[in-house]
Amino acid sequence: MAPRYFTLDEANRAVAELRPVVEQMVEHRRRFLDAQQRRGALTEQAGSNGGDLTPGDFAELEKELEEEATTLAVFIERIQSAGAQVKDLDDGLLDFPSLREGEEILLCWRLGEDEIAFWHGPEEGFAGRKPL
C-alpha cells in the first residue's frame, strides 16, 4: 500500500483532530512509566526484606501496567490510522508524510505547538527540523 501524503493544510487539520488523542497518549505514557517505577521499587523492597508486601500489591500493579499498555496501543493505532507517524510517546511528537519538490519529507509537529511549522527529511529526525 502506498503511503498517504499530506498537504500542509491536510496535516494541520489532522493535528486539530488528533491533538486530544495525543494529549491522552502522553498522559497514559506518563502513567505507564510511573507504574513501571513503582514496580521497580516494589521489586527492590521484596528483594530486601519485603516489609508488609502482599502478592496483591504486585497483581494490582501488573494489572495497571497491562491496562495502560493496552490504552497506549489504542491511541497509537488511532493516530496511525489517520496516516500520522508516532515518533515520541513522551513528547507527543508526530510526523506526517508529505512531498516537497517531488521528494518525500515529513511534516513535523509536537504537542504544545499550535500548528505544523517544521519539516525534515525521512532520515534526519527531530534534530534535523527546518522551518517551513
* In-domain check, residue 57: yes
Report pLDDT digits (tens) over 56-82.
878 899 999 999 999 999 999 999 999
pTM of the predicted model, to two decimals?
0.88
The pLDDT value given to residue 46: 76
- Cell numbers found for residue 101: 519538490
Q: Which residues of the chain have pLDDT under 50?
A: none
* In-domain check, residue 2: no
* In-domain check, residue 1: no
Q: Please count the CA atoms within 13 angstroms of the CA of 71 that sit on its side-chain side.
A: 18
The pLDDT value given to residue 58: 83
- Cell numbers found for residue 84: 500520522
What separation, in Å, do the N-terminal and C-terminal C-alpha atoms of the chain show? 28
Q: Which domain holds residue 98?
A: 8-131
The count of structural domains within the chain is 1
The pLDDT value given to residue 121: 95
* In-domain check, residue 45: yes
